[in-house]
C-alpha cells in the first residue's frame, strides 16, 4: 500500500515511455486532505536538478497537495528548457487536479543530462495518465514507477493508535548522504502542524537516510517528502510520531542498502565511545568510503588495517594505539595491534557488522554502507549506454 496506506491519499504509477524497457516511469501522489501539510529535505549537492530547484520554492509555504515523480531521466543539467519542463509538469498536474501549481512538488531520477523534447512530452502525458488513474490503492504502482536500477520496490507502513505512516523509496546507486540518490515520499493521516512535520522529518532523515553511504557519491536529485493530511482526525504525541517516522525511514534506508547496485554485503559500521556524535559519524563515513576496505569485505577479508588507515584520515578525537575493531563479533584489533586471528571472522553472510570502539567518550553513530564489487563496477560502467 505504501503511500496510500494512510487515509486520504491517492496515487498511481503508469508507463509513459521514459524507460526503454516500457516499465512504469511516472508516479503521482495526491493528498486529498483535509489538511495539506508538506515538509521536504533535499540534496545538499550544489549541482541541483531542475525538479529540486522547483520543489525548493514550492515547499516554502509548507503546503503540498501533490507530488509528480518520474524515473527514466534526471532532468538535471538540461538548461532552461529542462526547468520549463518541470514547471509545465507542475502546471499540468495543477490544472487536472484543480489546485495551484505552487503546491505541486516534482521529482525526477535517471541519467543526468536527459531532458529533451521527447522527455518533456512523455512526462506531461504520463502525468495526465497517472492523474486519470489515481486511486486509494495506487501506492504500490507508484512505488514501482519510481524505480531505476532498483531490483525491488521499497515500501513501508507503520500504524499506531488511530494514525498511519506510509512510505515509498527508490535508490540503488549514487547512495550517499546529503542525501543519497533517493526519492522518498512519505504520507500520514496524522494531524500535524507544518512545523511539527518539518521538525520530525529533519530529525528522522538526519539519522537514517543521511547515514546511508553506499558508494560515497552524492546525487543531484535527492528529495524526501512528508505529506500530512489529518484525515485520521488524531493528533499524535509528537515524540511518538517522531519515533514512528524515524522507524519507517530506517526501514526504507535498510531496504535501499539491501538493494544497492552490485553489492554483496550490507555493512553496518557502528562507532562507539566517540567524543561527539559528529566524530562518530566522521569516522564511520570515512571507513564507509574507503575503497580498499570495501573491496576487502567483498573478498571476505577482515582487513582491519584498512579500517584503522581510514580512521587515521579523520579529525576525530582518538588514539590510534587505543582503538578496538570488531568484525562480526570478533575483536580483530585491540589497542593498535592484532587481536584474534582473521580466520576466526566469518564474512560469508551478506550482513556484516563492523564495530569501532574509539574509547574516548560516550557518543556513537551507525553508518550503513556496502562492499565494492565487480557487479558495482559493471553496472556503473555501463549505466548510460
| Residue numbers annotated as active site | 181
Edge-to-edge strand order for the sheet containing 104-108? 9-14, 26-31, 66-70, 104-108
Residue among 313, 346, 349, 351 that touches a copy of itself (CB under 8 A): 313
DSSP structure string for 303-337: -HHHHHHHHTTS-----GGG-EEEETTEEEEETTE
CA distance 383 to 110: 10
- By CB under 8 A, is residue 348 in contact with a copy of itself? no
Is the bond into 187 cis (omega within 30 degrees of 0)? no
With CB under 8 A as the contact rule, the residue among 17, 113, 206, 258 that binds a copy of itself is 113
Q: Which of 96, 136, 217, 360 binds a copy of itself (CB under 8 A)?
A: 217
378 interacts with a copy of itself by CB under 8 A: yes
* C-alpha dihedral (299, 302, 303, 308), degrees to nearest 10: 140
The smaller minimum CB distance to a copy of itself, of residues 35 and 211, is found at: 211
Q: Is residue 252 a contact point for a copy of itself (CB under 8 A)?
A: no
* Residue 103 C-beta: closest distance to a copy of itself, Å: 26
Say if residues 29 and 9 touch (Cβ distance below 8 Å).
yes
Pairing between β-strand 26-31 and β-strand 66-70 as defined by DSSP bridges? antiparallel
Residue 223 as a binder of a copy of itself (CB under 8 A): the answer is no
**For residues 225 and 185, what is the distance between their CA atoms, to the nearest angstrom?**
5
List the one residue from 111, 234, 254, 363 that touches a copy of itself (CB under 8 A). Answer: 111
131 forms part of the interface with a copy of itself (CB under 8 A): no
Q: Are 178 and 248 in contact (CB under 8 A)?
A: no
What whole-number distance in Å separates Cα of residue 300 and Cα of residue 133? 48
Q: Which is nearer to a copy of itself, 305 or 361 (CB)?
A: 305
Of 105-113, 163-171, 237-245, 361-369, the window that binds a copy of itself (rule: CB under 8 A) is 105-113
Q: Which of 39, 5, 28, 29 is nearest to 224 (CA)?
A: 39
Among 91, 247, 301, 353, binds a copy of itself (CB under 8 A): 301
Residue placing its CB nearer to a copy of itself in the complex, 61 or 319 = 319
57-96 positions binding a copy of itself, by CB under 8 A: 74, 76-79, 82
| Interacting positions 170-209 with a copy of itself (CB under 8 A) | 173-174, 178
Cell numbers 571472522 label which residue?
Answer: 345
Cell, residue 334: 585491540
Q: Which residue ranges make up the site for a copy of itself (CB under 8 A)? A: 45-48, 74, 76-79, 82, 111-113, 173-174, 178, 215-220, 289-292, 295-296, 298-299, 301, 303-306, 308-314, 320-321, 333, 335-338, 342, 372-374, 376-378, 380-385
Amino acid at each position: 500500500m505504501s503511500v496510500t496506506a494512510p487515509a486520504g491519499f491517492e496515487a498511481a504509477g503508469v508507463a509513459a515511455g521514459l524507460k526503454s524497457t516500457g516499465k512504469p516511469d511516472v508516479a503521482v501522489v495526491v493528498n486529498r486532505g483535509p489538511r495539506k501539510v508538506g515538509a521536504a529535505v533535499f540534496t545538499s549537492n550544489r549541482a541541483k536538478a531542475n525538479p529540486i530547484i522547483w520543489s525548493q520554492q514550492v515547499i516554502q509555504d509548507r503546503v503540498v497537495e501533490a507530488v509528480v515523480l518520474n524515473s527514466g531521466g534526471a532532468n538535471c543539467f538540461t538548461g532552461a528548457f529542462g526547468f520549463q519542463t518541470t514547471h509545465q509538469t507542475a502546471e499540468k498536474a495543477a490544472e487536472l487536479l484543480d489546485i495551484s501549481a505552487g503546491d505541486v512538488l516534482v521529482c525526477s531520477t535517471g541519467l543526468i543530462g536527459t531532458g529533451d523534447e521527447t522527455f518533456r512530452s512523455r512526462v506531461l502525458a504520463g502525468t495526465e495518465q497517472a492523474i486519470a488513474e489515481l486511486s486509494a490503492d495506487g501506492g504500490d504502482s507508484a512505488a514501482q514507477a519510481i524505480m531505476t536500477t532498483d531490483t525491488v520496490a521499497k515500501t513501508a507502513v507503520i500504524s499506531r493508535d488511530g494514525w498511519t505512516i506510509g512510505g515509498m523509496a527508490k535508490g540503488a546507486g549514487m547512495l550517499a548522504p546529503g542525501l543519497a540518490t533517493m526519492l522518498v515520499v512519505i504520507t500520514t493521516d496524522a494531524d500535524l502542524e507544518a512545523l511539527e512535520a518539518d521538525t520530525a522529518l529533519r530529525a528522522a532523515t538526519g539519522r537514517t537516510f543521511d547515514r546511508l553511504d553506499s558508494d560515497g557519491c552524492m546525487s543531484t536529485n535527492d528529495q524526501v517528502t512528508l505529506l500530512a493530511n489529518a484525515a485520521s482526525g488524531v493528533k499524535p504525541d509528537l515524540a511518538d510520531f517522531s519515533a514512528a517516522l524515524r522507524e519507517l525511514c530506517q526501514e526504507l534506508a535498510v531496504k535501499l542498502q539491501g538493494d544497492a547496485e552490485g553489492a554483496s554485503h550490507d555493512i553496518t559500521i557502528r562507532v562507539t565511545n566517540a567524543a561527539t556524535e559528529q566524530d562518530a559519524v566522521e569516522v564511520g563515513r570515512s571507513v564507509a568510503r574507503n575503497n580498499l576496505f570495501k573491496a576487502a569485505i567483498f573478498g571476505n577479508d577482515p582487513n582491519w588495517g584498512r579500517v584503522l588507515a581510514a580512521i587515521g584520515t579523520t579529525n576525530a578525537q582518538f588514539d590510534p594505539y587505543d582503538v578496538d575493531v570488531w568484525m562480526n563479533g570478533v575483536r580483530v584489533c585491540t589497542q593498535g595491534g592484532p587481536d584474534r586471528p582473521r580466520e576466526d571472522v566469518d564474512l560469508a553472510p551478506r550482513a556484516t557488522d563492523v564495530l569501532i570502539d574509539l574509547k574516548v567518550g560516550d557518543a556513537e553513530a551507525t553508518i550503513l554502507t556496502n562492499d565494492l564489487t565487480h557487479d558495482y563496477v559493471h553496472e556503473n560502467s555501463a549505466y548510460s549506454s
